Structure 1
Amino acid sequence: MHRTPTHLHDVRLPRWLLPADWPLVHGLPALAQLEMAHGRITALTPAMPQPQQQQATPQAWQLHGALALPGFVDAHVHLDKTFTLPRIPHIVPGLLGAIEAMMADREGWTHEDVRQRADRALQWAWEAGSTRLRTHVDWWEADRVPVAWPVLGELAQDWRGRIRLERVSLMRLAFYEDAQQADALARRVAASGPDALLGGFVHTSHWNEAGLRQLLLAAQRHGLDVDLHVDEELEPSAHGLATIARLLGEIGFEGRVVCGHVCALAAQDEATALRTLDAVARAPITLVSLPATNLLLQDAVTGRTPRQRGLTLVKEARERGIPLLLASDNVQDPFCRLGSYDPVDALATGALVGQLPEPFDTWSESLCRADWLERAPAATQAPSLIGAPADLVLLCDADAHGFPSRAARRVVLREGALAHGTPPPAWRGPQA
């Protein structure tokens, strides 16, 4: 079978990725034909009906209705912490217990230790079909660059052309309270390269509005986008997200701010939560939900079944046109003992917990929209496949009704070439 197909016949694409006038068959999007050349998608047309249906050849794959998605973006991970779980003997349930365990383990981190663990994670992400990862990096001393920061910068270079790796400086808001220090931190992050972002931890236990304001002002001065951990708790009084939306308007912030977690929305009364989301819809904010980690950390008490879910208000955010992504977050560390750097797993968890309808046709968008991390995303405008890189994830066994079930076996194309996986025999032509 040719490793660089020129045509994909009878492929099932999600509704959100297709033109508005795409034909329907029994209420569902008709199958598609994709043409590819020079690493890009050159044509997208409805599949021809029988008996004109194209047959597979070595350079034309017949997918028989197999699902396809663009390459994934895993918008919130922690490569510095990943795969540390086996060496941590005891973890107190909950977010603060995980932080305590992690701080003890990080005392033994070395350049080689971080590099080995993070490189393994990137390999898993590559095999899953991700084209872009954004990792937060714990930055515990204001005057000292953490060991993981330059290591992940090196890995970003090593993986360039396969995965775009971005780094976020995860700091306490108190580090930014002094305007001069905030400026120095922003300058240092900006000097790290174009894929570095300013970040912070916004939580009631460390609330500091002055620090939050100075963080945003420093980012504005240095042309940095911002990525924050926000309201990762089920405290109804948490108002980090609402404050960020207000400050962005007051500052006239020109970049993009990504707010991860925002679990507290699910614990607030309906009017308060929806009022906050209305403000977010008017601001340059993208939300990222982390279903697996939030389920494990929120309402966590030893020996007690949790009563509350950690998922934020994903349906209400989507209804307001707010860019919303789902991501892996922590993988096999004190914050989450599970994980595989497969964004489809995040959607599978979110679909069950959030009772999400049409996971393939609607919610798979939350795994693929890398443009929602950019400064001016087109939140409501469907992206065009024509001219886009032929970075595709082909799901061998899944169907649109049961997705994301049976999504483990997949074929990954990068710039139109087979990068990972083995195409099923049914896709192969007679000369293969």
Structure 2
Amino acid sequence: MQSSNEMILHNVRLPLMDENMFYKIIIQDGMYKRIEQQPGYATEVRALSIMDGKQVEVSEIDVEGRIILPSFVDIHTHMDKAFSLKDVPNESGTLQEAISNYSQKAHLFSKEEIKKRVYRSALQSLSFGTTHIRTHVNFELDVSQTLALEHLQAVLEVKSELSPYVSMQVVPMFSKMSGRTKREMEIIEEAIQLGVDGIGGAPHIFPDAEANIEKLFQLAIKYDKFIDLHVDENDNPAICTIEQLIEKTKQYGLQGRVTAGHLCSLAAMEQKKADQIMSSMAEQQINAITLPGANMYLQGRADRGVVRRGITRVKELVEYSVPVATASDNINDPFHPFGRGDMLQIGLLTAYAAHMASKTEILHVLKMITTIPGRMFGIDNHQVEPGAYANFVVFDTNDVYDMFGSSSPSRYIFTKGKWLTSTTESHSFGDRKLEDLWNGIKQSATIKL
């Protein structure tokens, strides 16, 4: 007997489990109760199609062979800066100008403006299937102590207000730690006690990087927070603060609680040194995050002839068993003028830039935007399996290559016990003959095959 709070999905494809099989999924109280392998495509299902627009009202749905993935986890964003490009341009396209221009304009941005940016980026990301977001937040202490706290509070307020729909982690970026006065350190500790989730920063851009890293680790230990740093976002192979991060992780026993984003200079290092670093990262259980959009845009600006891609050694890190996720980083701001908060788009960029296009590699890219960052976020089991929370996306395709190729324009998002949003797209032609041809192709195309 089916309970009133139970939902059944038929004819589901789960490529991260077995892409050749069909599954029946039973969800109860917002959690996966059972995942059953079907002997084949069930043709006698008495359930509404997910495409008929009434799926939010029914308890039994025929997915018709479409792909379901765990919902997306965007593990590295900057929501406070999103959609600021018009106010903060970047003519050179360099990281240095982006940092400088934003800092110079920071005093002009009100708390309400910051909140609007975070709302927009969070909801836009949710519409594409992202249910968990970790955002880094500028802490402009050198501009104004009041402004630094206000901007952070703005993000924390949106986190609280959107908590019934999106799970957010907030990580302030603390800078110049070794030279802070006693009063400035009090402000930083006050910020941490507002309810942030982790300790962030970009120590590699300062000359005393090692001292900065030490201070950040001390704060993380004192307040029991994870560490998520921007690390070696530079073309220069001599910039290698990842070594200090490895050393501090070992010294303080923080294995599994330290994340290194970017790691661009790792790609420029000679092979022997890079191998040693990647091996040590795996040994100390340091997470890695690649940010292909921003890194390809910002890095290699001084190169001539062969221009470096900018991203880190993704495939090699995976081979060394370092957990590697990919994330959106920046959206429509001086650090990255493009992007839209769509993790499928970020997965496609990763596949291109990291040369990950075999079937096995494509499936791993899907894990890099779902299950792998889910573990970094702290979700015990962000997978489609019994006992896990049912946070998933239904894609209007039955093939992972088509999913990337078409960016799967139609998606249906289920999270926190309900169908939350859907994104659909339709095509039409002004010419009647073309319209008839197109509609005929659509009708003859069978999702289940």
Q: TM class by shorter-chain length?
A: 0.7 to 0.9
Equivalent position of 2:432 in the other structure: none
Equivalent position of 1:158 in the other structure: 161
Change in CA separation of 1:251 and 1:178 when aligned onto 2, cut-off 3 Å: farther
- Residue 68 (1) aligns with residue 71 (2): no
CA distance in 2, matches of 1:92, 1:308: 17
Change in CA separation of 1:153 and 1:312 when aligned onto 2, cut-off 3 Å: same
CA distance in 1, matches of 2:89, 2:181: 40
Equivalent position of 2:365 in the other structure: 363
CA distance in 2, matches of 1:84, 1:346: 20
Change in CA separation of 1:278 and 1:398 when aligned onto 2, cut-off 3 Å: same
**Relative to structure 2, which stretch is displaced further, 43-52 or 253-262?**
43-52
CA distance in 2, matches of 1:384, 1:421: 19
Find the residue that maps to 1:31 and give its secondary structure.
strand
- Residue 34 (1) aligns with residue 25 (2): yes
Quote how far apart the aligned CAs of 1:130 are.
Answer: 1.2
- Residue 231 (1) aligns with residue 232 (2): yes
Find the residue that maps to 2:403 and give its secondary structure.
coil
Counterparts of 1:243-282 in structure 2, within 5 Å, are 243-253=244-254, 256-282=257-283
Deviations 1:329-356 (A, max 9, x none): 0000001110111111111101011111
Equivalent position of 1:372 in the other structure: 375
Residue identity over aligned pairs, in percent, reads 23
Q: Which has the higher contact order (CA 8 A, sep 6+)?
A: 1
Which of 150, 169, 172 is the matching residue for 1:169? 172
Equivalent position of 1:418 in the other structure: 419
Equivalent position of 1:148 in the other structure: 151
For structure 2, the 5+ residue unaligned runs are: 49-57, 426-441, 444-449
Quote how far apart the aligned CAs of 1:94 are.
Answer: 1.1
Structure 1 counterpart of 2:415, one-letter code:
R
Quote how far apart the aligned CAs of 1:91 are.
Answer: 2.4
Structure 1 counterpart of 2:365, one-letter code:
W
Structure 2 counterpart of 1:217, one-letter code:
Q
Counterparts of 1:271-420 in structure 2, within 5 Å, are 271-301=272-302, 307-356=307-356, 357-358=358-359, 360-369=362-371, 370-373=373-376, 383=383, 385-397=385-397, 399-406=399-406, 407-420=408-421
CA distance in 1, matches of 2:178, 2:414: 43
Quote how far apart the aligned CAs of 1:398 are.
Answer: 5.8
Does the CA contact (< 8 Å) of 2:292 and 2:349 recur in 1? Answer: yes
Quote how far apart the aligned CAs of 1:214 are.
Answer: 2.1
Equivalent position of 2:242 in the other structure: 241
Does the CA contact (< 8 Å) of 2:76 and 2:327 recur in 1? Answer: yes
CA distance in 2, matches of 1:251, 1:51: 54
Quote how far apart the aligned CAs of 1:42 are.
Answer: 0.7
Q: What's the TM-score, normalizing by structure 2?
A: 0.83
Find the residue that maps to 1:229 and give its secondary structure.
strand
CA distance in 2, matches of 1:257, 1:181: 27
Does the CA contact (< 8 Å) of 2:229 and 2:261 recur in 1? Answer: yes
CA distance in 2, matches of 1:349, 1:114: 28
Quote how far apart the aligned CAs of 1:403 are.
Answer: 3.3
CA distance in 1, matches of 2:247, 2:36: 44
Quote how far apart the aligned CAs of 1:301 are.
Answer: 4.8
Structure 2 counterpart of 1:150, one-letter code:
Q
Find the residue that maps to 1:203 and give its secondary structure.
helix
Does the CA contact (< 8 Å) of 2:204 and 2:241 recur in 1? Answer: yes
Quote how far apart the aligned CAs of 1:393 are.
Answer: 0.6
Find the residue that maps to 1:87 and give its secondary structure.
coil
Quote how far apart the aligned CAs of 1:62 are.
Answer: 1.9
Does the CA contact (< 8 Å) of 1:327 and 1:343 recur in 2? Answer: yes
Q: What's the TM-score, normalizing by structure 1?
A: 0.86
Quote how far apart the aligned CAs of 1:247 are.
Answer: 1.5
**Relative to structure 2, which stretch is displaced further, 54-63 or 157-166?**
54-63
Does the CA contact (< 8 Å) of 2:72 and 2:369 recur in 1? Answer: yes
Equivalent position of 2:87 in the other structure: 87
Structure 2 counterpart of 1:367, one-letter code:
I
CA distance in 2, matches of 1:234, 1:84: 25
Does the CA contact (< 8 Å) of 1:176 and 1:182 recur in 2? Answer: no
Deviations 1:292-350 (A, max 9, x none): 00000001259x77710111111111122222111100000001110111111111101
Quote how far apart the aligned CAs of 1:256 are.
Answer: 0.7
CA distance in 1, matches of 2:41, 2:220: 57
Change in CA separation of 1:50 and 1:108 when aligned onto 2, cut-off 3 Å: closer
Does the CA contact (< 8 Å) of 1:220 and 1:255 recur in 2? Answer: no
Aligned length: 408
Which of 26, 30, 34 is the matching residue for 1:43? 34
Structure with more helix by fraction: 2
- Residue 192 (1) aligns with residue 183 (2): no
